[in-house]
Structure 1
Amino acid sequence: MTNRYEVSQPEKNCFLFQKPTLQQEQEVEVFLMKTMNDTEPISVIKTNEASFTLTIDVDYRPYFLIKTEEESYVIGERTLPVEGMNNFRDMGGYPTVDGKHVKWGKLYRSDHIHNATAKGLEYLQKLGIHTIIDYRSDVEIEKYPNPTINDQVVTYHVDPAAHAAELAAQFQASKENEDANLINEIIEQQKNGTLVNQADVVLEQYRTFANKKESKEAFAKMLREVAKPEAAAIVQHCRGGKDRTGYGAMLVLGVLGVPKEELLADYLLTAKNREERNAVKMAGYRKLTDDPSVLDHLYSFIDTKSEFIEASIDAIIDNYNSIENYVKQELGISQEIIDTMKELYLEE
């Protein structure tokens, strides 16, 4: 892990800068950038602090150029404030095993765009999105259609048939009856002794992502689309941005050379981002049942655990030694495609 600054926006227009190792011995100058290609960044602060805040009134997605005596680099927010969505994030900034970093503003992952408000869509329109990879099933898409960001965005539906990980795909009821239908199904399974631990089901799903035919076809198509020079900026998403998207994001970052500890860290940001959403979801469930065992089972549907994605990574590494070898041998991704992805999405 590098000791570069990270930036977040805990309050509107209030940007918090922090270093993983909170020791600062040299001066740093921070410049505001309107875009990643801004050739005239504006100096906003010089400081020796390892943690500080800046209040900047902006109506665009800002980037920040960080300069010290030894280096200069650009950073951006990881989780973006898209109104109506809770898990829209930039996959940029992660270090690779060979000392490079993933470019900001090129690769995004998110929950479904269905919930974006008009203001949220206005924000998304400023990100230069050209491609959407939608992992949802036809049923999910019909029930929760994405609004149009702009007419230039191309959407690819690549269903990995991983429906065990999502409520809507498991229990096909109307939106209004979805929660009640799910609870009734759990109670019925409890009565007849067929209820299984959902966390175990999800864990097994992550293990089989790597070898299930439909999953391999879906994620191979995703990688080929990501490798197209005209594709960026790209958003990949499912419903909650956790399971199918978590696996797809892991493959992209893994092919780029991001190490396992960073892949796990990226995955676990979903848990943090979904805390409020999960609390609201559980409050809704409690209005329909007070059975603690049913509530525990319901929470297992929306929980995010590092062992889920780790099961996929370990299954790949144990059998193929690397994610790059896996996508070549099992997904039919050529070395040329891999090299193109690295050229498109990595910087020194």
Structure 2
Amino acid sequence: MRKKYEVTQVENNKFLFKKDDTAEEEVVVYLKKSPADVQPEFLLKTSEKSFSVNIGPVDYRPYFLLKFADKAYTIGERTLPVEGMNNFRDMGGYEAENGKTVKWGMLYRSDHIYNATEAGVDYLKKLDIHTIIDYRSDDEISKYPNKTVDGSIKTYQLDPVAHAAELSAQFTSSKDKEDINLINKIIEQKEKGTLVNQADVVLEQYRTFANKDNSKEAFGEMLRITANPDAPAVLQHCRGGKDRTGFGAMLVLGILGVKKDDLVKDYMLTEENRKERNRVKMEGYKKLTDDKEVLEHLYSFIDTRSEFIATSIDTIIQKYGSIEKYVVEELGITRDMIDTMKSMYLE
């Protein structure tokens, strides 16, 4: 199968197109104002596997139509440049079942909107978001309230209540004591000899997402909301956009027929997006403790590893055979809802 181009914005309004493919073929590139734009603007024609284009300043989120001799498809940048946020992503473009593709501009995932700047909020307004699903707890929301994007957006709080014990110590603390309370909790467990392998703690959390009643209730409601024809575009987020959002995004894409490799690939984009954020976070922890074991344990909670989301997927597949059967049997999603989601989000 020929690989598709992927596009990233490497400088302001300058986009880099790349594909990992040995096949040479001519492509004609057009600029689109939306995925449904029927009058795209011609940009260039090339046979290069890697090329860039500067589109100049625009007042909309750009998409690109790529035309080949025997096919055509639309692409957009995956991680969006929302100022103040580090992990706002479009889940479109993935290949799904029956040769279909997930639509661009319909399904988003992100970190919380608390840090979005005024320019970031202005960018978000261009995305025509209708629904926000917030997986955070009451404590998190009270400390880090989202910036208002548009008063007409419907927001649903769906807390899976599935945090590891250490993280609960952080989430229920005041802003200025979050880090030290988390560290003290880990030190206490270390001194008692009850501190387990840090990766095992996170892996257990990902199993909990699939098995715990609170989690099943929250993610089931997320899917019912997402299946509402009035819902798109839908944004789901937690605090960092990794764990709770990672599981929710996996369920949506999995129902649509996206393969496991791409589910893991989508999850792992968080690793790249949060590198700088994680570096800053660890520097802050190092000011509070020099215990190497504690620091390693702390890093496990902000680390992004493929085995984390793979554990959730494997837990579901081993018991139910497929993500689709899991959401039907455990989350109360009907076949009609699944068919509706496929008609809404696939093309």
Scaled to the shorter chain, the TM-score interval is over 0.9
Contact 1:165 1:205 in 2 (8 A): no
Query: What is the number of residues matched between the two proteins?
Result: 346
1:39 aligns with: 38
| Corresponding residue for residue 211 of structure 2 | 211
Q: Is the 8 A contact 2:169 2:181 kept in 1?
A: no
Report what 2:92 is aligned to: 92
Once the two structures are superposed, residues 120-159 of structure 1 have per-residue CA deviations (whole angstroms, 9 ceiling, x without a partner) of 0000000000000001111111111111100110000111
Q: Where does residue 282 of structure 1 map in the other structure?
A: 282
Partner of 2:128: 128
Confirm or deny: 8 A CA contact 1:132 1:155 kept in the other structure. yes
Which residue identity is paired with 1:220? G
Bigger drift between 263-272 and 202-211 goes to: 202-211
Distance 1:171 1:236 in 2: 19
Structure 1 residue ranges, 4+ long, deviating more than 3 angstroms after superposition: 165-171
Cα distance between partner residues in 1 of 2:19 and 2:275 = 24
Deviations 1:257-288 (A, max 9, x none): 00111101001111111111100101111122
Corresponding position of 1:235 = 235
Q: Which amino acid aligns with 2:106?
A: K
Letter in 2 for 1:173: S
Q: For residue 295 of structure 2, what is the aligned residue in structure 1? A: 295
Equivalent AA in structure 1 for residue 82 of structure 2: V
CA distance in 1, matches of 2:331, 2:186: 36
Stretch moving more, 12-21 or 240-249: 12-21
For 1:144 and 1:106, locate their aligned partners in 2 and report how far apart those are by CA, in whole Å: 25
Q: Give a deviation string over 1:101-120, Cα, whole Å, max 9, x none.
A: 00000000001111111110
- Quote the Cα distance in structure 2 between the aligned partners of 1:187 and 1:159: 27
CA deviation vs aligned residue, 1:202-230 (integer Å, no higher than 9, x gap) = 10111122221111110110000001111
- Tell me, which stretches of 5 or more residues in structure 2 are unaligned? none
Aligned-pair CA distance for 1:289: 1.7
How far 1:297 moved relative to its partner? 1.1
CA distance in 1, matches of 2:2, 2:215: 33
Whether the aligned pair in 2 keeps the contact of 1:61 and 1:127 (CA below 8 Å) is: yes
1:190 Cα deviation (Å)?
A: 1.7
Matching residue of 1:83 = 83
- Measured in 2, the distance between the counterparts of 1:69 and 1:325 equals 39
- 1:322 Cα deviation from its structure 2 partner: 0.8
Name 1:344's counterpart in structure 2.
Answer: 344
Post-superposition shift, 1:196? 2.2
How far apart, in 2, do the equivalents of 1:171 and 1:35 lie?
38
Quick one: distance in 2 between partners of 1:307 and 1:149?
A: 34
CA distances 1:150-191 after superposition (whole Å, capped 9, x unpaired): 011000011111122883664522111211222222222222
Query: Is contact 2:94–2:102 with CA below 8 Å preserved after alignment?
Result: yes
- Where in structure 1 are there 5+ consecutive unaligned residues? none
| Distance (whole Å) between structure 2 residues aligned to residue 137 and residue 314 of structure 1 | 27
Matches of residues 41-80 of structure 1 in structure 2 within 5 Å?
Answer: 41-57=40-56, 58-80=58-80
Aligned partners of 2:214, 2:332: CA distance in 1, in Å?
Answer: 14
Q: 268-277 or 193-202: which moved more?
A: 193-202
Structure 1 residue 3: deviation in Å? 1.3
Q: Distance in 2 between the 1:308 and 1:258 partners?
A: 18
Match of 1:83, SS? coil
Bigger mean CA offset, 160-169 vs 133-142: 160-169
Give SS of 1:194's match: coil
What TM-score comes out, normalization by structure 2 length?
Answer: 0.96
Separation in 1, partners of 2:163, 2:60: 36
Contact 2:28 2:68 in 1 (8 A): yes
Amino acid at match of 2:154: V
Aligned-partner residue type, residue 29 of structure 1: V
Identity %: 66
Q: CA deviation at 1:249?
A: 0.3
Normalising by structure 1, we get a TM-score of 0.96
**Structure 1 contact 30–65 (Cα < 8 Å) conserved:** yes
- Give the secondary-structure state (helix, strand or coil) at the position aligned to 1:210: helix
Partners of 1:132 and 1:169 lie apart in 2 by 26
CA distance in 2, matches of 1:169, 1:135: 17
State the alpha-carbon separation in 2 of the partners of residues 342 and 86 from structure 1. Answer: 29
Aligned to 1:192: 192
Residue 252 of structure 1: CA displacement? 0.2
